[in-house]
Amino acid sequence: MTPTERRSSLSLAFIYALRMLGLFLVLPVFALEAQKYPGGDNPALVGLAMGVYGLTQGLLQLVFGMASDRLGRKRVIVFGLLIFAAGSFLAGAAGSLVELILGRMLQGAGAISAVVTALLADQTRDAVRTKAMALVGASIGLMFALSLVAAPVLTALMGLSGLFVLTGVLALTGVAVVIWAVPAEPARHVNVVRGKLSDVLRDVPTLRLNFGVFVLHAVLLAMWVAVPAMLVDAGLPKAHHWWVYLPAVFASFIVMGLTLFPLERRGYLRAVFLGAVALIGLVQVGLALAASAPGIAVLSALLFAFFCGSNILEASQPSIASRAAPAHARGAALGFYNTLQSLGFFAGGVVGGLLVKSVGPAGLFAACAAAMGLWLAVAWPMKPIEAPHRKAA
């Protein structure tokens, strides 16, 4: 990478990490802490409060992405972070579950994921883009692992409202990073032709990726409806779940570094991509078989394999999507991509809960395996992805 590419990649990954940490910090404790609010005895409202973030996020990703094609990426990112911060402070001040839902809705309205990805794609060459996107993907896994360890401790110190205030402060820190650390964006965004959704909807390779990102994140959230209970059933208390999560996440980063980047340089990105999809599908089969009598060793191995596959996909999918998108509509294309990513989170939480209630964990994982199999079939016709030139790296 050039110095500018390194600066852009690190600063934008940092912004993404701050935002995802704010999102993930509340997830391990939200369901229990929300019961302390007036209205918290209603499970449907608690579920809505958890999932409504993903809904508003999904509805506005495309709007923000298209706006960034016209108005500039950095300006839209700052605006979105300010909205996210306002929603965080509103949630922190909430005195009832309804007010908490409103705060979560406003948090989700700061939908900048697509714009951050588009700006990173603008400022990196094809030869190093997967490596740059990997920093963003790694930040998601790292913040998830960190939240599992930190959330119970921070909640004991400051409560759920304090976590939301901390989230708002992190968002404002992100604004400072955008203004002073992120390199200036290309001048071609001035008076550029507005990206059209029709340009994106006619592109079959992009549609395959959009379907895939929806399935991946639906499966990701649906899994965690049942996995924590399986760990408890296997004899691992809730406070010690990070003993499994943290090593699995960090070891999977090493596997990603040893497989994804070398194989991409050799022209095998398609094979790695499809292999990761198949691996997550097999993990779901393993979890379905283990649901009746879970063991720590088996669950640890399955979660390690899952993180290997998901980290590879988190790193490679945005890179492939940014290459496939028309240059003048990159914000719109990645906006649609991130819309389906957010809606996948929302759908995974809602459908996952219903499946666990109706058919149990084994049925949930069987449905996830079927979804991954369908994704593999949809993605299989994708063309080989050209390897980046060695000299460009």
- Encode pLDDT of 15-52 as tens digits: 888 877 777 788 767 766 777 888 877 766 776 777 77
Whether residue 95 is contained in a domain is answered as yes
Whether residue 189 is contained in a domain is answered as no
189 contacts: CB under 8 Å, gap ≥ 6: 68, 69, 70, 71, 72, 73
CATH number at residue 360: 1.20.1250.20
Whether residue 33 is contained in a domain is answered as yes
Whether residue 392 is contained in a domain is answered as no
Residue 9 has pLDDT above 60, yes or no: yes
Instruction: Give the pLDDT confidence score for residue 217 in this predicted structure.
Output: 87
User: How many residues belong to the chain?
Assistant: 393
- For the stretch 106-127, pLDDT in tens is 998 988 887 888 888 788 887 7
Q: How confident is the model at residue 91 (pLDDT cuts 50, 70, 90)?
A: very high
| CB-based burial, 265-283: b 16+ in 10 Å, e otherwise | beebbbebbeebbbbbbeb
Q: Greater confidence, 233 or 350? A: 233
Structural domain boundaries enclosing 269: 3-183+194-387
What is the total count of domains within the chain? 1
- For the stretch 304-341, pLDDT in tens is 999 899 888 877 887 777 676 666 666 667 677 778 88
Query: Can you state the angle between helices 113-122 and 3-33, rounded to 10 degrees?
Result: 170
Neighbours of 215 (CB within 10 A): 25
Share of residues in the chain with pLDDT > 70 (%): 85
Q: How confident is the model at residue 142 (pLDDT cuts 50, 70, 90)?
A: confident
Interatomic CA distance for residues 93 and 97, integer angstroms: 11
Task: Report the chain's mean pLDDT, rounded to a whole number.
Answer: 82
Whether residue 393 is contained in a domain is answered as no
Question: What average pLDDT does this structure show over 252-272?
Answer: 83
Terminal CA-CA length for the chain = 6
Whether residue 31 is contained in a domain is answered as yes
Q: Greater confidence, 202 or 336? A: 336
Instruction: Give the pLDDT confidence score for residue 368 in this predicted structure.
Output: 96
Whether residue 294 is contained in a domain is answered as yes
* SS percent in the chain: helix, strand, coil, step 5: 85, 0, 15
